[in-house]
A and B are shown apart, each in its own frame.
Chain A
């Protein structure tokens, strides 16, 4: 076991997989000489050379479209978007091309692009360096949307993504990049996409979270425990496809659910989860399903702390459904 940060986990796995599979090519704005805006790709250019690590023009649509064309040819591109907030010019290539290529070609082509996207608030980034755009992507058949919350999952999920044949949007919670180091196994493990992880077991309330909200929910669960409420925290890890079995099994046990995410509330991924529980778990539910979220506003620079759901906001919802 080695102790790694989430960022180190991604860096090391990229490096190992590039050694293992010479089809993998990293590309993006400043991923080469500069090592990426957060340093995830540091040293890769020196090790693998300019044929495998490409500094690209600053055009996200161009970057993702280029990656699609490379993937069709048999290369395995790993484009990096500097901030999720800048991905929108590439949205068309993601939705119209990357996600639909296998479908529209009747299986003639697949498009295994692994799109790395640092996302989320909490780093003082304001409106254009803090967004959580997962709901847009989760509305697109053909995409896999995954959000690791720690080094071990990031390693295992990135490995699965790089070894699979679907396009993956890997949302990396930049707030957690360097926050904590955790032990990771040395072996060649994978974390299957579409599998959630029970972070903490409990019997009274289920909290469904992902990415940067996982440690927040853990803290809230600790606060709840001090009030005598046993909270089960589930890290969904993959949003699309959802690990429905793990979620439903937990609700069958607790009968109460809170969903917490940074994104705005209206039409959010949390809304999808709430609807799914209404459809499939109504007989188990003892209380309304509550969503804890950011507000339905852009993220204002000076009020980031007020905007982002913290442990207290999550705890308040846990308490509310527990006492319903």
Chain B
């Protein structure tokens, strides 16, 4: 039997208020703003893509609610292994919009030196690991980090975000096997369309599970927070199946807004102001990224090894000569 589907945001405002997870006004606003920002970033990305300036990106879409709710459920000491559609989580873990955009466009400000396509920002201070380009590999790594936490006796947890596609990968299953066997402080938040019934599969491995309405950011937060408490408290690994219907595309910010209004935290004036600020901030970040250009090409030879071995040194010199010749000929 699948778990009951957890929902907070329904039609009855009083009921919503009663069901909602405990949240300060400040956190509630931050959560809402992250969702709005994710939506507006999607709009800018679409324009950049249409203009030929962004070759690859994955929109946050409704999944922003899953990323944001999950990120806000964590303590500072916890780790987050994101997947694509996790921009909101990056910001909620302390990352800046400007760095996200710099990474997305591979500008000189990108701390990863233009090595990865959009959506792979890294944030070690926020214990937010750069998204892997390969499906489900990070699930196994999250289990490894959770194991390391356990060995060190740290009272924290690891949360990994993943999509339904990851559930077919071997790494997903070997991670569940290990996490269940060792009762690791691991929380997996998986987006599915509900047909997979991933929760039942995870329960088969021995994980605690909860199904949740993935477009409902407060429900995700509530479920992820409960799962996190169980996992960190020694009750074993947990899986939250966040059911998201990409097609219906109800903006999770729009769904959350009446909740804020009901608490007197929001009004149309604030909304307009927020949207303007988000647009302006993203537009400014894009402008900076486009105007400062790419990082120096020589950085491509850094970070392959702790120190550059001879062949990389030679190749760096070769490229430098090629670029000089190109400039002379230009």
A: which residues have CB within 8 A of B?
25, 51-52, 54, 56-57, 59, 61-62, 65-75, 77, 89, 92-93, 96-97, 102-110, 141-142, 144, 164-166, 194, 241-242, 244
A-contacting residues, B175-220, CB 8 Å? 175, 177-178, 181
Q: What's the nearest-Cβ distance from chain B to residue A159, in Å?
A: 16
With A75-B151, A109-B129 as contacts: A62 and B140 at CB distance below 8 Å: yes
B: which residues have CB within 8 A of A?
79, 110-113, 115-116, 120, 122-124, 129-130, 132-134, 137, 140-149, 151-152, 158, 170-171, 174-175, 177-178, 181, 302-306, 309-311
Q: What is the chain B residue whose CB lies nearest that of A64?
A: B140
Q: Are B305 and A166 in contact (CB under 8 A)?
A: yes
Q: Are B110 and A106 in contact (CB under 8 A)?
A: yes
The residue in A68, A93, A104, A241 that gathers the most chain B C-beta atoms within 10 A of its C-beta is A104
Q: Are A110 and B145 in contact (CB under 8 A)?
A: no
Q: What's the nearest-Cβ distance from chain A to residue B148, in Å?
A: 4
Chain B neighbourhood of A109, CB < 8 A: 122, 124, 129-130
Q: What is the chain B residue whose CB lies nearest that of A112?
A: B306
Bound form: Cα–Cα A68–B111 in Å: 21
Q: Are A93 and B115 in contact (CB under 8 A)?
A: no
Chain B neighbourhood of A241, CB < 8 A: 305, 309-311
Chain A neighbourhood of B152, CB < 8 A: 73, 75
Bound form: Cα–Cα A144–B110 in Å: 27
With A70-B144, A104-B116, A165-B306 as contacts: A92 and B137 at CB distance below 8 Å: yes
Chain B neighbourhood of A244, CB < 8 A: 310-311
Q: Are A70 and B304 in contact (CB under 8 A)?
A: no
Chain B neighbourhood of A242, CB < 8 A: 311
The residue in A52, A65, A165, A194 that gathers the most chain B C-beta atoms within 10 A of its C-beta is A65
Bound form: Cα–Cα A164–B309 in Å: 14
Q: Are A57 and B133 in contact (CB under 8 A)?
A: no
Bound form: Cα–Cα A252–B270 in Å: 76
Bound form: Cα–Cα A104–B129 in Å: 10
Q: What is the chain A residue whose CB lies nearest that of B128?
A: A108
A-B CB proximity, top 9 nearest: A69-B144, A65-B140, A62-B174, A69-B141, A106-B112, A66-B144, A241-B309, A73-B148, A69-B145
Bound form: Cα–Cα A162–B177 in Å: 29
Q: What is the chain A residue whose CB lies nearest that of B130?
A: A105
Chain B neighbourhood of A68, CB < 8 A: 140-141, 144
Q: Are B142 and A69 in contact (CB under 8 A)?
A: yes
Chain A neighbourhood of B309, CB < 8 A: 194, 241
- Given contacts A65-B171, A105-B122, A106-B115, 6 further A-B pairs with CB under 8 A are A62-B174, A69-B142, A104-B115, A142-B304, A142-B305, A241-B305
Chain A neighbourhood of B133, CB < 8 A: 96, 104
Q: What's the nearest-Cβ distance from chain A to residue B243, in Å?
A: 27
The residue in A25, A67, A89, A97 that gathers the most chain B C-beta atoms within 10 A of its C-beta is A97
With A56-B178, A62-B177, A109-B124 as contacts: A73 and B111 at CB distance below 8 Å: no
Q: Are B181 and A57 in contact (CB under 8 A)?
A: yes
The residue in A25, A62, A164, A242 that gathers the most chain B C-beta atoms within 10 A of its C-beta is A62
Q: Are B132 and A66 in contact (CB under 8 A)?
A: no
With A59-B177, A89-B170, A108-B122 as contacts: A97 and B141 at CB distance below 8 Å: yes
With A96-B132, A108-B122, A244-B310 as contacts: A72 and B140 at CB distance below 8 Å: no
Chain A neighbourhood of B124, CB < 8 A: 105, 108-109
Bound form: Cα–Cα A244–B321 in Å: 22
Q: Are A73 and B305 in contact (CB under 8 A)?
A: no
Q: Are B303 and A66 in contact (CB under 8 A)?
A: no
Bound form: Cα–Cα A173–B146 in Å: 33
Please pick, from B115, B122, B175, B302, the residue contacting A62 in the complex, using a CB distance under 8 A.
B175
16 inter-chain pairs at a CB distance below 8 angstroms, sorted by A residue, are: A62-B174, A65-B140, A65-B144, A65-B171, A65-B174, A69-B146, A71-B144, A73-B144, A97-B132, A97-B134, A102-B306, A103-B115, A103-B303, A106-B122, A166-B306, A244-B311
